[in-house]
């Protein structure tokens, strides 16, 4: 046991001594492995976190499921209650009612009634100067504002002989049809027009499979309603997420291959520079297996040091990318360290295969004679 302990101690001293005598080569190899570990860690953390962040970003672009009543019909309070129960914990539903009213100048204008709090949550991408907070207040599209508001910001709308005095407290700009509408609270809308909502827009969280599952469930629950997915949002989300994943994987593979080549070149240089040392070891009776263990030990130490430094660096890089692109940090995943270390170890050991084969062909007598 003592003899084995002395052997292990001598082996470790030889590894440390070899690294100290060839600092330049050791540092070059360490930088290559660290760079690969950092890139792999950043890519793995982003890969695990970026899908959720991208989906959250897409949720900012409005609903991904729309439920509409048949033509000439409206949604009952029970329908809306059941829809909300169906998407609970997986999203939220926002009802909308629509009516065509007339302005004081007898111009036709579309009025929409909705829950402003939910609509604000559903469409954060709208550019709104101020959201209404009280009864009698309206959110007016920038194009609709030209036909409604007077200098004081108040205007009257008529619907089937019923007048409604509204106060314009904010405008909406989004480059779409909402700019030509006037939005009022759903309670005001129902009291004034006597109409119920006809559309419910649903924002569902999760993967595309989750969204499709909610869509199928809603179609089964409401066979008499028109339940459809917003194709543009779904396709854009799937394409962006898929391309992002492919880019991250391809980048990580390219970086790891490049680092592997750097480590291979470094280890080849180590073997060439130390051929006399290996020749002396062989002349003193060292076996190819012992020398191979020595080189493999150097590779393992190199892999561990590079993995530790690179893992910490990669976590920092992933957090910075998350902050700059998604305005939220990417949570570090410590469970990835074993995979990163294993990858570094595989890269360094594979890079050591060719130098080990070269060492077996070393003839001590020829090397020591300077041939």
Structure-token pair, residue 332: 């570090």
Question: Do 90 and 27 fall into the same domain?
Answer: no
Among residues 23, 28, 30, 27, the alpha carbon closest in space to that of 309 is found at: 30
- The residue out of 176, 194, 229 marking a domain boundary is 229
DSSP lists the bridge partners of residue 173 as 127
Residue 198 phi/psi, 5-degree rounding, is: -120, -15
Same domain, 101 and 76: yes
Token pair, residue 160, equals: 């089937």
Domain boundary among 202, 229, 256: 229
Q: Look up the domain containing 287 and give its range.
A: 10-57+239-368
Whether residue 127 is found in the same domain as residue 272: no
Which of these three, 205, 229, 253, is where a domain ends?
Answer: 229
What is the pLDDT confidence band of residue 100, given thresholds at 50, 70 and 90? very high
Q: What is the largest CA-CA distance in the chain?
A: 112
Distance CA 105, CA 291 (A): 95
Digit-coded pLDDT (tens) for 292-304: 677 777 777 778 8
Residues 83, 191, single domain; the answer is yes
| Cβ neighbours around 17 below 10 Å, total | 10
Return the ∠ at Cα 238 (arms to 237 and 243), rounded to 5°: 100
Does some domain include residue 4?
no
160 part of a folded domain: yes
129 with 246, same domain: the answer is: no
Are 40 and 117 found together in one domain?
Answer: no
Residue 334 falls inside a structural domain: yes
Q: Same structural domain for residues 175 and 261?
A: no
Is the same domain home to 206 and 317?
A: no
Question: Which residue did the predictor score with more confidence, 354 or 76?
Answer: 76
What is the model's pTM? Answer: 0.57
- As a whole number of angstroms, the distance between CA 136 and CA 114 comes to 13
Q: In terms of domains, do 99 and 48 share one?
A: no
Residue 275 lies in a domain: yes
Return the pLDDT at 67. 92
Q: How far apart are CA 255 and CA 340, in angstroms?
A: 13
Helix (H) or strand (E) holding 315: helix 288-326
Could you tell me if 310 and 40 are in contact, meaning their C-beta atoms sit under 8 angstroms apart? Answer: yes
Position with higher pLDDT, 28 vs 360: 28
CB-CB neighbours of 29 under 10 Å: 29
pLDDT at 2: 46
CB count within 10 Å of CB 115 equals 18
Same domain? 32 vs 120: no
Task: Specify the pairing of strand 226-229 against strand 91-102.
Answer: unpaired
d(CA 178, CA 143): 9
Same domain (yes/no): 257, 172: no
Residue 137 is assigned to a structural domain of this protein: yes
| Structure token pair of residue 77 | 């309070």
In a domain, 5, yes or no: no
Look at residue 148 and tell me if it is in a domain: yes
Q: Is the residue at 115 inside a domain? A: yes
pLDDT at 186 over 90: yes
pLDDT of residue 12 exceeding 60: no
Write out pLDDT tens, residues 268-300: 666 666 666 666 666 666 666 766 677 777 777
Q: Are residues 222 and 123 both part of a single domain?
A: yes
Question: Based on the structure, what is the number of domains in the chain?
Answer: 2
Alpha carbons 187 and 183: distance in angstroms, whole number: 12
């Amino acid at each position: 046991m003592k003899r084995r302990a002395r052997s292990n101690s001598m082996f470790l001293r030889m590894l440390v001594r070899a690294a100290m005598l060839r600092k330049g080569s050791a540092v070059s190899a360490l930088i290559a492995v660290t760079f690969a570990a950092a890139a792999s860690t950043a890519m793995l953390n982003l890969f695990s976190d970026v899908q959720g962040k991208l989906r959250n970003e897409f949720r900012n672009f409005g609903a991904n499921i729309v439920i509409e009543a048949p033509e000439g019909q409206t949604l009952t309070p029970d329908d809306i209650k059941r829809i909300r129960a169906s998407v609970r914990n997986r999203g939220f539903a926002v009802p909308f009612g629509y009516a065509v009213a007339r302005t004081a100048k007898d111009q036709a204008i579309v009025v929409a009634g909705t829950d402003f709090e939910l609509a604000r949550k559903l469409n954060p991408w709208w550019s709104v100067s101020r959201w209404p907070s009280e009864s009698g207040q309206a959110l007016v599209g920038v194009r609709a504002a030209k036909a409604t508001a007077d200098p004081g910001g108040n205007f009257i709308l008529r619907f089937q002989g019923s007048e409604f005095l509204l106060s314009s407290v904010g405008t909406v700009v989004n480059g779409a049809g909402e700019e030509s509408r006037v939005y009022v609270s759903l309670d005001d809308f129902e009291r004034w027009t006597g109409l119920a909502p006809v559309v419910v827009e649903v924002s569902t969280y999760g993967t595309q499979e989750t969204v499709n599952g909610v869509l199928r469930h809603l179609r089964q629950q409401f066979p008499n309603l028109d339940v459809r997915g917003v194709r543009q949002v779904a396709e854009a989300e799937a394409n962006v997420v898929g391309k992002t994943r492919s880019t991250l994987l391809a980048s990580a593979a390219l970086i790891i291959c490049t680092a592997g080549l750097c480590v291979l070149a470094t280890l080849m240089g180590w073997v060439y520079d130390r051929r006399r040392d290996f020749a002396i070891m062989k002349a003193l009776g060292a076996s190819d297996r012992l020398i191979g263990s020595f080189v493999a030990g150097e590779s393992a130490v190199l892999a561990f040091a590079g993995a530790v430094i690179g893992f910490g660096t990669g976590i920092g890089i992933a957090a910075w990318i998350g902050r700059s692109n998604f305005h939220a940090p990417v949570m570090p995943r410590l469970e990835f360290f074993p995979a990163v270390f294993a990858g570094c170890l595989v890269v360094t050991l594979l890079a050591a295969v060719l130098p080990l084969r070269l060492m077996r062909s070393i003839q001590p007598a020829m090397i020591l004679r300077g041939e």
